Amino acid sequence: MRVLVTGGAGYIGSHTLLELMAQGHEVCVLDNYSNATPEVLSRVRSLSNGVIHDYVGDVRDADKLDEVMQDFQPEAVIHFAGLKAVGESTEKPLYYYDVNVRGTLTLLHAMTKAGCKRIIFSSSATVYGEPVYLPYDEAHPTNPTSVYGRSKLIAEQILTDWTAATPDATAVLLRYFNPVGAHASAQLGEDPKDIPNNLMPFIAQVAVGKRDALQIFGGDYDTPDGTGQRDYIHVVDLARAHVAAIDYAETATGARPFNIGTGQPYSVRDMVAAFERACGKPIATKMAARRAGDIAAMQADSGRANTELGWTATHDLDAMTASTWAWQSKNPNGYEG
Ligand code: WQD
């Protein structure tokens, strides 16, 4: 299929390009490089030996989208382009709604004009909010606690309404848990621009000597070791979920959410211990207060994705930490070398 990938130069987007091309799909990237570098596409090109059409532009730019639609004539769109920092979303709510909600709307207008009726949307487990029960399944109430989470939920609702009003349209809403890890080549990985907000890139930067110590945000949660538990998912498994979603969208219609996780919860201490095994050195930690807005534990029930998308995660925790360490140690300054 011809697949337009917005945000294709980003962390998840770049891994997804490789998996799409490996399955014979033709790809085109639209990225504004606000949180990515063109070096990513050079690396994806050399790893795949394939053709990547690419455009520099913003998903809120209707003229640019029309141009891409006309040139590339996508049969499906995977929509990654968006903002994802929970803390920043509280400080800049209008910016988050503008990019994440208006971006999605502008894209849907352009798709409608071009007759493209399949979209895979980059959503998040954060749409669920405080757990009423665990593991979360897709029927769990949605009550996001951040602007970021609400912007994802609003975009999901817009996509759902669009499919209801558009015959044969499909929106696959992939609710990611905590993506980590890197490509087996160690050529692609997560490259946060400032101080990492997320656990895994922070641990990796401590291991490589860029940060002194990991602060553990809270040791008094109601979990076996007192630290927060999450459902970490290898980025290559996540990328493959998008390929499975493209196959599903070929015949399915309507909007459908899918949890994309492993179902296996790991604590902050589990992650530190696993990373120490991968890098062979101790990771310095210090206990800190709970981070505002954090919940104790969450994990996915991904049974729906297993049965309906035919997708399952195959990478375990050691694969997640080993690939992160390979990427970080070979690229201590990310894509800058
Ligand atoms: C994981 C655990 C922290 C950093 C966020 C978003 C979510 C998704 C993924 C998507 C928690 C602890 C962290 C540190 C720590 N984003 N921690 N020290 O908060 O589960 O999810 O990222 O686009 O929407 O909310 O992930 O990696 O920040 O935290 O102790 O320096 O690690 O308290 O228990 P989170 P995280």
In this predicted model, what pLDDT tens digit does every residue of 121-139 receive, in sequence order? 999 999 999 999 999 999 9
Which pLDDT score is estimated for 17?
98
Which residue is closest in CA terms to ligand 1's atom 14? Answer: 199
Regarding the beta carbon of 228 and ligand 1, being less than 6 Å apart is answered yes
Q: What is the pLDDT of residues 126-185, one digit of tens each?
A: 999 999 999 999 999 999 999 999 999 999 999 999 999 999 999 999 999 999 999 999
Question: Which residue has the CA at smallest separation from atom 32 of ligand 1?
Answer: 199
pLDDT of residue 103: 98
Average pLDDT rounded to a whole number, residues 41-70: 97
Q: Whose CA is nearest to atom 23 of ligand 1?
A: 84
**Nearest C-alpha to atom 1 of ligand 1 is from which residue?**
199
pLDDT on residue 193: 87
Over residues 276-335, the pLDDT tens digits come to 999 999 999 999 999 988 999 999 999 999 999 999 999 999 999 999 999 999 999 999
Residue 266 annotated to the active site: no
In a mutational test of the pocket of ligand 1, which residue from 145, 199, 294 has the highest number of ligand atoms less than 8 Å from its CB? 199
Exposure pattern of 66-78 as b/e (b: 16+ CB <10 Å)? Answer: eebbeebebbbbb
> pLDDT by residue (tens digit) across 178-212?
999 999 999 999 999 889 999 999 999 999 999 99
Say which residue the tokens 């949890």 belong to: 259
**String of b and e for 132-158 (b: at least 16 CB within 10 Å)?**
eebbbebebebebebbbbbbbbbbbeb
Residue 138 corresponds to which tokens in the numbers above? 């897709």
- Element containing residue 250 per DSSP (H, E): helix 235-251
How is residue 158 written in tokens?
Answer: 């817009």
Instruction: Tell me, in angstroms, the distance from the centre of ligand 1 to residue 40's CA.
Output: 24
9 band by pLDDT with thresholds 50, 70 and 90? very high
What is the maximum alpha-carbon separation in the chain?
56
pTM for this predicted structure = 0.98
> What pLDDT, on a 0 to 100 scale, did the predictor assign at position 327?
98
Tell whether ligand 1 has an atom less than 6 A from the beta carbon of residue 197: yes
* CB-based burial label for 86 (10 Å; 0-12, 13-18, 19+): buried
Of 181, 209, 207, 204, the C-alpha closest to 316 is 181
Residue 159 CA to residue 171 CA, distance in Å, equals 6
Distance CA 6, CA 100 (A): 12
Question: Averaged over 47-58, what is the pLDDT?
Answer: 97
Ligand 1 centre distance from Cα of residue 187 (Å): 24
